[in-house]
């Protein structure tokens, strides 16, 4: 199921996209494309039969939880979903104790939480793969689904221009990483006070020097979108920032992706949004529901990208 590429991901954890090499990123995307095609042909292999996967949600989720739960089941694994705040990694127990007990029951841990440091600590203790299902810093599984969607519609990722307009949040960081790994031209436009973290930009510039990618950050949405192949935005108010909502709506004026902004991109440009969207804030209905929008394909690809990732992490090389 991995084609001509060797599975170098067996047993690894993925806490951010830069945990993958450029070749490993392509391996995940190619495996997802193969598995997706096979599933549609009625080939329903269960390579993880007998395994169990903990799916821990410390923040709200619809897409991530549903796609991981269904993906695990389709692979033949048993999903153990813990979304109650009193279940995993709570009640005062140390990360060490929870991780070392949990791994006696399951074969991989998928976790959505707040601090990146927490998923790193879990991965340090765990002898099984750990997958970041969103932290305040990164959302690698969404990034894989988005790159898969772009690849399906545009072919090779290298050389494509990906424009992101909005908050310098976990998705912006993830597009910097995914674009750097896959040789894309990445342009990020944020308000000056909501820029991406400098250390992420610097790390991505180092990767870009090896892959031929370019990384550019600025504050002008029109500059970012001009002649882009892919235009992306995300909520201006991420989980945890709700009290800042009104302030953010003011600060992000001019950053809404509307038809006028899309007109600066290539005629055949596609639009992505990881959802949930705040229609009328970061994006208009016209763009969300327009011909260039791939938002529902993108959401479906969470399932295919994560299935491929779990398969590669949880099967022997």
Binding site for ligand CP (CB under 6 A): 61-64, 134, 142, 274-275
CB-wise, 215 or 294, nearer to ligand CP? 294
Q: Could you say which of 16, 187, 302, 304 is catalytic?
A: 302
Q: Could you say which of 139, 173, 248, 273 is catalytic?
A: 139
Length of the chain: 317
Q: What is the DSSP letter of 242?
A: G
Is residue 63 part of the annotated active site? The answer reads: no
Cβ 81 to ligand CP, closest distance in Å?
Answer: 13
Measure the CA–CA gap between 74 and 51, rounded to whole angstroms.
12
Is residue 104 part of the annotated active site? The answer reads: no
- Cα dihedral: 151, 153, 159, 161 (round 10): -110
Residue pair 277/283 in contact (Cβ under 8 Å)? The answer is yes
Of 162, 146, 269, 268, give the one whose Cα is nearest residue 208.
162
Residue of closest CB approach to ligand CP: 64
Cβ 1 to ligand CP, closest distance in Å?
Answer: 25
Cβ 181 to ligand CP, closest distance in Å?
Answer: 20
Is residue 139 part of the annotated active site? The answer reads: yes
CB-wise, 140 or 191, nearer to ligand CP? 140
Measure the CA–CA gap between 239 and 10, rounded to whole angstroms.
32
Measure the CA–CA gap between 274 and 178, rounded to whole angstroms.
14
CB-wise, 64 or 233, nearer to ligand CP? 64
Hey, which residues does 52 pair with through a beta bridge? Answer: 78
Is residue 16 part of the annotated active site? The answer reads: no
Residue pair 316/110 in contact (Cβ under 8 Å)? The answer is no
Cβ 64 to ligand CP, closest distance in Å?
Answer: 3
Is residue 142 part of the annotated active site? The answer reads: yes
Residue pair 293/287 in contact (Cβ under 8 Å)? The answer is yes
CB-wise, 195 or 275, nearer to ligand CP? 275
Is residue 234 part of the annotated active site? The answer reads: yes
The set of catalytic residues is 112, 139, 142, 234, 274, 302
């Amino acid at each position: 199921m991995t084609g001509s590429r060797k599975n170098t991901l067996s047993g690894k954890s993925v806490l951010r996209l830069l945990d993958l090499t450029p070749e490993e990123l392509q391996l995940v995307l190619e495996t997802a494309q193969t598995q997706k095609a096979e599933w549609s042909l009625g080939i329903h292999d269960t390579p993880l039969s007998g395994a169990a996967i903990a799916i821990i949600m410390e923040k709200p989720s619809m897409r991530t939880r549903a796609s991981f739960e269904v993906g695990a089941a389709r692979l033949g694994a048993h999903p153990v979903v813990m979304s109650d705040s009193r279940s995993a990694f709570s009640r005062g127990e140390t990360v060490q104790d929870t991780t070392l007990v949990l791994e006696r029951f399951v074969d991989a841990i998928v976790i959505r939480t707040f601090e990146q440091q927490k998923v790193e600590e879990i991965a340090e203790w765990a002898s099984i793969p750990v997958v970041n299902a969103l932290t305040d810093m990164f959302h690698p599984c969404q990034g894989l689904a988005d790159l898969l969607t772009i690849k399906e519609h545009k072919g090779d990722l290298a050389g494509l221009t990906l424009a992101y307009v909005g908050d310098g949040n976990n998705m912006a960081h993830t597009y910097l990483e995914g674009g750097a790994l896959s040789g894309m031209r990445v342009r990020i436009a944020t308000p000056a006070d909501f820029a991406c973290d400098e250390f992420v930009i610097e790390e991505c510039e180092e990767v870009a020097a090896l892959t031929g990618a370019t990384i550019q950050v600025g504050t002008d949405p029109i500059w970012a979108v001009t002649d882009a192949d892919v235009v992306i935005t995300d909520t201006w108010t991420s989980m945890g920032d709700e009290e800042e909502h009104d302030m953010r709506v003011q600060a992000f004026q001019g950053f809404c992706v509307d038809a006028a902004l899309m007109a600066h991109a290539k005629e055949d440009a596609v639009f992505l949004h990881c959802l949930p969207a705040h229609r009328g804030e970061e994006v208009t209905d016209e763009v969300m529901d327009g011909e260039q929008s791939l938002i529902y394909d993108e959401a479906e690809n969470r399932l295919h990208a994560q299935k491929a990732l779990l398969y590669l992490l949880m099967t022997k090389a």
